[in-house]
Structure 1
């Protein structure tokens, strides 16, 4: 029986019925630089409040692909000037007055940098490599290739008028002055076999490396450092011994890559993320003017780093490497290049360019190199960023993915770790990295840049948004930032400025949460839906049985299985009923064992530690795991145990430490289990599962929490086929299914077993179930409703009026009597976007109105949302399939006036075959086809 949940102060029910502010979603708020007015800012803040949002995230950028007057350009580029901070303060004050708060991006666009604060001397650097093959016995001097700076459209490009001011005339020379030869190294061996092309559009590149088919093999014992033999004319004063030699020349460059789409005065160089003084200079420009405890500001934010470098580098790198790793990297530099490894925008698996012949020396060097990159970026950027925020009385919000460092630690150092759903269409397994960090480091919120689709700037529907929201929740997110709301700019050119609108070169990004979007009425119910779910997911404590080791630097799907991207272990855990967090070495170093459970620094408890198949692990991590095992923690090694340390320095002694630690762990009870038997091994070890599936659980993902003694399970079907399963929860009790769209609850039929509760579920594609198991709950009323009446409303006989746009021009028309159909079949509506009002009368039997009768209107298939009005009373919008509306209490016996307003996405009205920006857009389904059915149940 459907009923409203009782409102109990402070209870889970109260939060669900009336979500607190922190549970409400936020909007990424795109500003066209400083071209904003305080009046409009206050209006838009109120718009956020009125539509169910907790606030916004200020993202100032230069409006892309918009024709600006010189006066507009000047105001846009007042970003980070005093007038800009006046606007930020006004927005913050408006937010606070309405009970909202704002996040503020610490810099215009990304990566961080820009303005006079980041001159060439503080710009980030990269290492370039060139290789020359030489036959032994060739008499010197030998001409060798000198690497050039990779050609990218940078901050000093001729198209940017800001760099032409006289005070920046010498910046190009100052960038060039930072170039220096770092090393010339020769080794005997063979060249790699490469495939693919490195060049990008218009001759510019993201990365110069081609993927590797077969790595070259180098004899590391033959290594020779020849840096002092390089002549000024680019020849090498050296005659190689017999054999085939590879000569490598490494040159450091200061990169002129610019901050993408940045507003502000002067050039927009990216800061050196390994230099804390560069961060300090940047923060002084874009953050210090906020002052301490800025009104209405909750946090500052840094987006995913997306640094484009040939080889990640810093001017002090060799010295830091020697200090941190205990040896000189110079002779081993040829081994560090591996295409795809944290390659901005294109992270993927490729073998390295070179391995060491006959041993794992090259892999040890790469491990040490990556760990040093991680250490230096954390010390040079992330830790100063967090410290700066805390010194100013605000929180730090950070996206750690896309960075060449320990991303779990990167997320965890921030007060609010933030993931995003653009990665592999909202991959919930990827999003678990941010959730893992939150659990390990004690962060209550898991934020996400949400509802982003590539090449779909104008066509994402509310139903797709709801499905993506569910996927985010199933990925462990409990605090969404919707991408995004555009400041009202150039609004007369419908639909106005969209920060990621299409261009002749790219399809743009969604989503456009603007009043000019015809589906804007769906925003408030969507925000309410999110808030209800997040109120539950922010309550209580997470139930995560498995800590699954992750020792890599950076992340991309496929990093652990050489590009296969199968995510086999993660899927096996979930299919077996076990949720998991990824645990990094830093968290292991700070964890403790209590009652045979691993307890993280942040307080999360894990009954088991599982390690993936590993060749190597750091000795101190292995020893800590051995100590855990001796203290009673169940530890499982998948397929094999690690046999050595990861690093090169003092490797014999450190390898021996790893072997001893593994032996100690096995003697204390650790097990080696096959990968395909991991779920069975967990159950055999009596590790408590989240749930048990009977039936095909493919594509089902879930999260679980314990709240007020109850077990909350959120289950989502991310696949394209329905799943029918029997689900057993790990406690006996009564189960109800909560509906976050309307705030109602539906008792479920379940069976109590020996400490479990089982129920049958059919989960449609894209559908989710929020299940609450109450061990102390009274028996629920499972009364079955019977149909007492049904009307199929004809597709013919509707009157239709529309108002909106065609070809981006205003359009309104009265079509008179029509039949329901896809608007693409109606010539006058094929290019229409807007709202269409359908009207007719429907006769209802007075017997339907008896007490206890529920009448629903099933609208059938429609695109993309509907608002139903009955006898002048407007009902809550239907924004997601199945499009059903509860008519109980608004009908009367006899004739009823029925109005259905359909709104569609802007896409069809944006198409223009003659415009290079919009000619690539394709028509999408629109309108209303039904069938329309009214049904009464009692």
Structure 2
């Protein structure tokens, strides 16, 4: 190959990479991988029973690409009854052939392909012998002895059943991966990345070599402190020994699984995506060891956005709710290590099957974006043959984002919104000021609530381990007050340096201060690192107190003396503060605070990165992504910490406008921000003079141009399009409504209709009253509204608030015809379909369950309100 050709290929390959890979070379064969479009959302794609074929794969991938997806993540899973003869054995030659076809077709269509390193979850399956299976400790004849947990792989593909591997054993992990070396590695088509699901290895708390590893790492024999290890009364010695025990588990998980799996993937030419949460280890370190850290958004976040619905049957006590502080473990690791992509399993069990709307998904996505996530993965789409009757093949856990979903025709709108957001977030770099030390040794002093007596740091129930800790409470306060921060671990403190610009990470990100929450136990080495950084000029704040005790049992008295001595030394450093009022200290140090966050606005602040010029942003741009997930802010004058000319970019409408500015009473520049609950936007602050406006203009900006116009004429409603068409031909409705109403109340059969109904009315505009623009507020929409005005499309309202802007000259004096096509959920038709066709529930393993994990039964559901509920208002506005 000519040198110029090789250089061109290397350049193309480098541009497609999601991030640095620990300096290891990647084989040239990965040029054949389908990279996909990472700005677009990707999706989990469950291959049920691996009953897949080339023609159906092509058909479905073409649908995905047309809808605006950027890639798929294949997870082989349990099968469908009646299709046993079509099951393709996992990793067989035939399976590798259809997988290769998927990658080739993905490359043709611009779709990336990721692959789970196994089937179901966690890692395991056939060939996992007792020797390499997950272990727990038992006291046998007075000795700590490793015994198998007997945990089996959950939701495996047919023929892939077997034991879960020992995640604490490098030998076990490497032996497990040999199966892929003899199969997948020989395929000419490769996945972009391999994947590990959230750590769900229950009861595993030991490995065969644990005692040897413990002694080598902790400096003493655990058997010598067996009484303290078995003690459950939280004595001082017991606490210290259990800190050492958890520290060892954490290191073994990192050294035994995360790093070997990552190294194996790099040698094969793959990237890694890892859901570290749930692990009995330091999540920051575990996320840092992967190319694409991945968090999880499970359930509904209970945002107080007016009109946002949550599923009343979702059991918060059982399943928990998403929390941005948990999500930040993944994004913090990425920010510290310079990993450009941070992903999320998104929308798992957001509501029951057939009951999820796009308006429920968007706020969850926005919460992820402001938490530093920029690579959304929908959860997800089951592979389903096109010839299969509705609802097709279904995965047990909603939400179905696929072609059989009621919102599939409108999913491109959500995909486009996410693509616009992620394109900007991926091309910019973090602009956070505060590093918050995560004192995991204090957490390890508390009683563990997970199986096996270990602390599993999961994302579902942060109220059990994260929020009660001083660390969690402090981070909540930092977020509420508008400080931009990331987490840092004991290990990653070693990678920090100090420059004139501040505290620098190996990724080049710069922070201004390290905050240590109220901490009791800390390794002496960690305090030594902090002192070293302070000597170089790093500003450090201890919240309320200096740590007084060393973590761990070995040589504890001497180590504690070192901790206390270092504390006294640190106290004398001019850049170190032991603060009784942390936020007052942050203010004195000039740490940026976005005060408007206290009004319920969530944000992420970033700086220009490679590619921003192509996005229309100048080289010195500060970028805010702001979302209103609350109900306290609507519009008002706000002061940004960044100064300059402020432009607003609306990813929903793809429109940009300059924000008006004024001088505040304190002399600072204020800009006028309008952001209703449920809305989001980017604010781009670049060098230049703000657009200052005079007092008269300020009044015009902050007040409506005129009174709302009441839509007094009756509405005509008729069913125009069922979805799916099969079985709904008998559902007819045509009526005139004096006022808007839920269509399920209009007739008995209307309560079973799923599809689109058309609402039409006339709007009279008095002569001379046509404004430059109008705001059309549709009120309560169930669920998506396609709007036409005088026969011409006006737009689609699919998220809260359901509003559209009517540009100048679109409304005329006199009568205007307004038509609104509203599409509802498929839940109402499922109430009937489940009674008439119960055989659609034909899946192995868990089959289909509802949101409470009980057998699915839609026949008992009440009809879900559907249609245009209003009220609909039309308000003249000034062009802003």
The CA distance in 1 between the partners of 2:467 and 2:776, in whole Å, is 52
Contact 1:447 1:480 in 2 (8 A): yes
Secondary structure of 2:91's aligned partner: coil
- How far did 1:397 drift? 0.8
Tell me the SS of whatever aligns to 1:472: helix
Does residue 487 (structure 1) correspond to residue 386 (structure 2)? The answer is: no
Report the counterpart of residue 157 of structure 1 in structure 2. none
Match of 1:680 in 2: 584
Equivalent residue for 1:379? 255
Q: Which residue of 1 aligns with 2:25?
A: none
Distance across 2 between alignment mates of 1:61 and 1:125: 25
Query: 1:837, 1:899 within 8 Å by CA — same for their partners in 2?
Result: no
What do the CA deviations read for 1:431-480 (whole angstroms, capped 9, x no partner)?
11111100111111111111223552322211111111111111111111
After TM superposition, give the deviation of residue 764 of structure 1 in Å: 4.0
Q: State the alpha-carbon separation in 2 of the partners of residues 417 and 292 from structure 1.
A: 27
CA distance in 2, matches of 1:475, 1:301: 21
User: Are 2:416 and 1:528 aligned?
Assistant: yes
* Correspondence list, 1:164-203, <5 A: 181=140, 184=142
TM-aligned CA deviation for residue 291 of structure 1: 2.8
Q: Secondary structure of the equivalent of 2:183?
A: helix
Distance 1:717 1:280 in 2: 46
2:68 corresponds, among 52, 75, 85, to: 52
Which residue pairs with 1:389 in the alignment? 265
1:519 to 399, 402, 407: 407
1:438-517, aligned counterparts within 5 Å?
438-453=334-349, 456-489=352-385, 492-500=388-396, 509-517=397-405
The answer to whether the 8 A contact 2:661-2:691 is kept is no
SS at match of 1:355: coil
| Higher Cα radius of gyration | 1
**1:40-79 map, 5 Å:** 40-63=56-79, 68-69=81-82, 72-73=83-84, 75-76=86-87, 78-79=89-90
Quote how far apart the aligned CAs of 1:550 are.
Answer: 0.8
Tell me by how many angstroms 1:858 deviates. 2.9
> C-alpha deviations, 1:482-521, integer Å up to 9, x for none?
1112211497453222212xxxxxxxx3321122222222
Q: Structure 1 residues 41 and 876, CA, compared in 2 at 3 Å: closer, same or farther?
A: farther
- Rounded to whole Å, the distance in 1 between the matches of 2:229 and 2:785 is 56
Cross-structure match for 1:21: 37
Say whether residues 1:603 and 2:508 are aligned partners. yes
Describe how 1:270-669 pairs up with structure 2 within 5 A. Answer: 270-286=164-180, 289-291=183-185, 295=189, 297-309=191-203, 312-333=205-226, 335-336=228-229, 353-356=232-235, 360-422=236-298, 424-453=320-349, 456-489=352-385, 492-500=388-396, 509-552=397-440, 555-556=457-458, 557-558=462-463, 563=468, 567-595=472-500, 597-669=502-574
- Spell out the pairing of 1:847-886 with structure 2 (5 A cutoff): 853-870=772-789, 873-886=792-805
Are the structure 2 counterparts of residues 335 and 523 from structure 1 closer, same or farther at C-alpha, using a change threshold of 3 Å? farther
1:828 aligns with 2:748: yes
Deviation at 1:420, TM superposition (A): 0.9
| 1:815 and 2:733 matched | yes
Shift of 1:396: 0.8
The 8 Å contact of residues 808 and 909 in structure 1, kept in 2 or not, is answered as no
- C-alpha change, 1:77 and 1:268, in structure 2 (3 Å) is farther
Matching residue of 1:246: none
**In 2, are the aligned partners of 1:119 and 1:269 still within 8 Å (CA)?**
yes
2:668 paired with 1:767? no
Q: CA deviation at 1:759?
A: 3.3
Unpaired runs of at least 5, structure 1: 1-19, 130-180, 185-226, 228-249, 338-351, 501-508
Root-mean-square deviation (CA, aligned residues, Å) is: 3.2
Which segment is superposed worse, 764-773 or 840-849? 840-849
Q: Relative to structure 2, which stretch is displaced further, 603-612 or 258-267? A: 258-267
Deviation at 1:271, TM superposition (A): 1.0
Change (3 A) 1:567 1:262: same
Are the structure 2 counterparts of residues 367 and 756 from structure 1 closer, same or farther at C-alpha, using a change threshold of 3 Å?
farther
Aligned twin of 2:302: none
Structure 1 CA distance, aligned partners of 2:713 and 2:229?
67
Provide the residue aligned with 1:123 in structure 2: 133
Distance 2:285 2:431 in 1: 21
Give a deviation string over 1:411-441, Cα, whole Å, max 9, x none.
1111111111117533111111111100111
TM-score (normalised: structure 1): 0.76
Map 1:773-852; keep pairs closer than 5 Å: 773-776=685-688, 779=691, 784=700, 791-794=709-712, 796-804=714-722, 809-819=727-737, 820-829=740-749, 831-840=751-760, 842=762
Per-residue deviation, 1:404: 1.0
Change (3 A) 1:513 1:585: same
- In the other structure, the counterpart of 1:204 is none
Match of 2:629 among 696, 700, 718: 718
Q: The residue matched to 1:798 in structure 2 has which SS?
A: strand
Measured after TM superposition, the shift of residue 705 of structure 1 is 0.9
Task: Give the equivalent residue in structure 2 for 1:703.
Answer: 604
Distance 2:475 2:347 in 1: 24
Task: Name the CA distance, whole Å, in 2 between partners of 1:411 and 1:275.
Answer: 18
1:103 Cα deviation (Å)? 1.2
CA distance in 2, matches of 1:823, 1:715: 36
* Residue pair 2:660, 2:691 contacting (<8 A) in 1 also: no
Could you tell me how far apart the structure 2 residues matched to 1:833 and 1:380 are?
A: 54
- Counterpart CA distance in 2 for 1:720 and 1:251 is 55
Seen in structure 2, the aligned counterparts of structure 1 residues 921 and 475 have a Cα distance that, compared at 3 Å, is farther
- In structure 2, which of residues 581, 594, 614 is the aligned counterpart of residue 691 of structure 1? 594
Paired with 1:797 and 1:762, the residues of 2 have a C-alpha distance of 31
Residue 124 of structure 2 corresponds to 113
Whose helix proportion is higher, 1 or 2? 2
Deviation at 1:930, TM superposition (A): 1.8
1:49 counterpart SS class: helix
Question: C-alpha separation between the residues in 2 aligned to 1:493 and 1:49?
Answer: 22
Query: Could you tell me how far 1:891 is from its partner in structure 2?
Result: 6.3
Measured after TM superposition, the shift of residue 312 of structure 1 is 0.6
| 1:576–1:95 Cα change, 3 Å | same
Distance 1:833 1:366, change over 3 A: farther
Please say if residues 521 and 549 of structure 2, whose CA atoms lie closer than 8 Å, have aligned partners that are also in contact. yes
Residues 1:570 and 1:371: Cα distance change in structure 2 (over 3 Å): same
Alpha-carbon deviation of 1:128?
Answer: 3.8
Q: 1:294 to 1:48 in 2, by over 3 A?
A: farther
Partner in structure 1 of residue 614 of structure 2: none
Contact 1:865-1:877 at 8 Å conserved across structures: yes
2: distance between equivalents of 1:811 and 1:679?
A: 64
SS in 1 for 2:643: coil
1:552-590: CA deviation from partner (whole Å, max 9, x where unpaired): 275352466784799320122123331111100111012
User: How many equivalent residue pairs?
Assistant: 766
**What is residue 24 of structure 2 aligned with on the other side?**
none
